[in-house]
Structure 1
């Protein structure tokens, strides 16, 4: 489990936020032939999500129209994805990304993993409610129809939102570890189901103990065993759960590094992680990124992004420190 001295995001509530004044400034920025993107960045990346929602309400009262809709109509490209993404409440943003991950041809399995493997049971329920309200579809049914095999089984387990919270039983940990070890040895369908039931249902505190017992029993790290015994998206999902129990900032740093370097700047992944973690642990993710990969997240974003898109991403990464 992450042992950093202080878990913190880059964006915190701005004590100088005035929703009416902010809404008026945004309204002025959106008028004319070209909107003033700098104003949008300066305001929306320096307010908490709750404050942005208040700004949107003030904007609606002032102009009689929906701010999110106006932003969608007036912006384009990846800059549009960043600015509009900031306007969703966290469950709605996750629902938005899950919908687009499964909409149309192909499925973005990594998006499903990033969200469903690392959210609490309470967050899963909020996401499911938002998904129904926004798209009039059932998240469970969409996952079932868009995925397959043991990967689908594990996702369907996660989306039920039945993971135990804050509970740890040392006496049970050794037994769970034995089940995991046997599953890695035999690798049958039944044993895969037993393995994913433990990883998807046990609390992260319990999994922390289980992984220690697994090391004692097998002489092997659980992540190494999973990598050796399983493959594909099922393997990636299991490894994400292991990371969630051990070191979430390290997981997100790894995902950002891959999105920047391995896939030719996978914009949706970068935007999703920066926005969703901005008020939780993005500062820690930045630190882990530099420790692990030798260059700062700021450096790599500036190297691959440009224009107002780059400026918006950097502003989210820096928060109110502007230390890039």
Structure 2
């Protein structure tokens, strides 16, 4: 390949990557979690280390923190199994006897299987939500339910349902369905029941236009007249790429353009500047049709927990790491500060996209998540959170 062509293709790839959120580069750069499998992992050695850490006169918090924040969830499960086999005691219960407060809450999150941890968080949130339910008064329990249901994959939700049934002898879908009626319940049920479509790589311009028009028509009335089910169906079912995508580069060669060729695509591309990106997706077309960003429309047409839930889903579809960065800031410091939320996010994202979240946090607030946690927490609890966060972002 001529050097000039290589340079041109490399330049185009760099331009495209720069336009993508960090989370979308996962396939290019590899995992974006802060915790990765320890290659020299030995179960027996870690079991002994845990025994030494809790058997003495003083608990060795440093060792406990190091072990838990340098092993994946799967490796922690293997340690717990080995500890049970060797001592005939439950590792989590043994650690809980030695710690308390937020540190204990964090240890529970780290030592439970991820889906089981989510199932228990949902159970607690549902109790609070059903008791304090009001269509017009969103609260922390509704936000927790929205966070978990909107950010877990279809497979993860299935695993959560299994753990929920096993641990609580109850069907989660049935419990949600029997709760207070309203749009928020409909959203949760849609997320449980619906398998989100996978992006095939083919841009369906006709469906994009149909969905955008459907959202416009569904939100045509005032609050109370909105066709909420239509909004929920589209947002819960369609692929993120279909709903929100940066997909068409004006400077593409004609050969590349033919890969996504259609009369509609050519017409839209011809309206662009000489070089740049055009977002061909439902959210962008909705904005073009109404003058409203999708978030503005949700705030206009929905209220209370329904608004919180749908805004959460939209935020996740827009930019999942940014959603979590904002939620972390609110959980650490603010009117809705909640250490359970802080712990849940750091634990649940530590093996997937916490590096992306750190990058968005730095961009959004002008300081690193690591520094923020260090300034706002203390003691062994702070050390464990910093172990999950891993490092500064300069």
TM-score by length of 1: 0.92
Q: Hey, what does 1:25 align to over in structure 2? A: 49
Kept after mapping to 2: 8 A contact 1:2/1:247 = no
**2:192 is the alignment partner of 1:174:** no
Q: Hey, what does 1:243 align to over in structure 2? A: 315
Kept after mapping to 1: 8 A contact 2:194/2:236 = no
Q: Hey, what does 1:227 align to over in structure 2? A: 299
Matches within 5 A, 1:121-200: 121-167=154-200, 169-186=204-221, 187-188=223-224, 191-200=227-236
Q: Which has the higher contact order (CA 8 A, sep 6+)?
A: 1
Matches within 5 A, 1:207-218: 207-208=243-244, 209-218=281-290
Kept after mapping to 2: 8 A contact 1:120/1:161 = no
Kept after mapping to 2: 8 A contact 1:157/1:200 = yes
CA distance 1:173–1:39, change in 2 (3 Å) = same
CA shift digits 1:131-184 (9 cap, x unpaired): 111221211133234444111111111111432233563321111111111222
Kept after mapping to 2: 8 A contact 1:144/1:156 = yes
Shifted more, 58-67 versus 247-256: the winner is 58-67
**2:319 is the alignment partner of 1:278:** no
CA shift digits 1:66-106 (9 cap, x unpaired): 21222233321110111121112221111121112123654
Q: Hey, what does 1:69 align to over in structure 2? A: 93
**2:323 is the alignment partner of 1:305:** no
Q: Hey, what does 2:153 align to over in structure 1? A: 120
CA distance 1:71–1:170, change in 2 (3 Å) = farther
Distance 1:302 1:181 in 2: 45
State the shift of 1:189 in Å.
5.2
CA distance 1:30–1:145, change in 2 (3 Å) = farther
State the shift of 1:113 in Å.
0.5
Q: Hey, what does 2:240 align to over in structure 1? A: 204
Kept after mapping to 1: 8 A contact 2:369/2:392 = no
Kept after mapping to 1: 8 A contact 2:325/2:360 = yes
Match of 1:57 among 81, 87, 91: 81
State the shift of 1:322 in Å.
7.4
Shifted more, 232-241 versus 278-287: the winner is 232-241
**2:36 is the alignment partner of 1:3:** no
Matches within 5 A, 1:97-108: 97-103=121-127, 105-106=131-132, 108=141
Distance 2:127 2:20 in 1: 34
Query: What count of residue pairs does the alignment treat as equivalent?
Result: 322
CA distance 1:148–1:269, change in 2 (3 Å) = farther
Distance 1:27 1:243 in 2: 43
Shifted more, 270-279 versus 299-308: the winner is 299-308
Query: Of the two, which has the highest radius of gyration?
Result: 2
State the shift of 1:34 in Å.
3.9
State the shift of 1:200 in Å.
1.4
CA distance 1:141–1:71, change in 2 (3 Å) = farther
Distance 1:323 1:291 in 2: 10
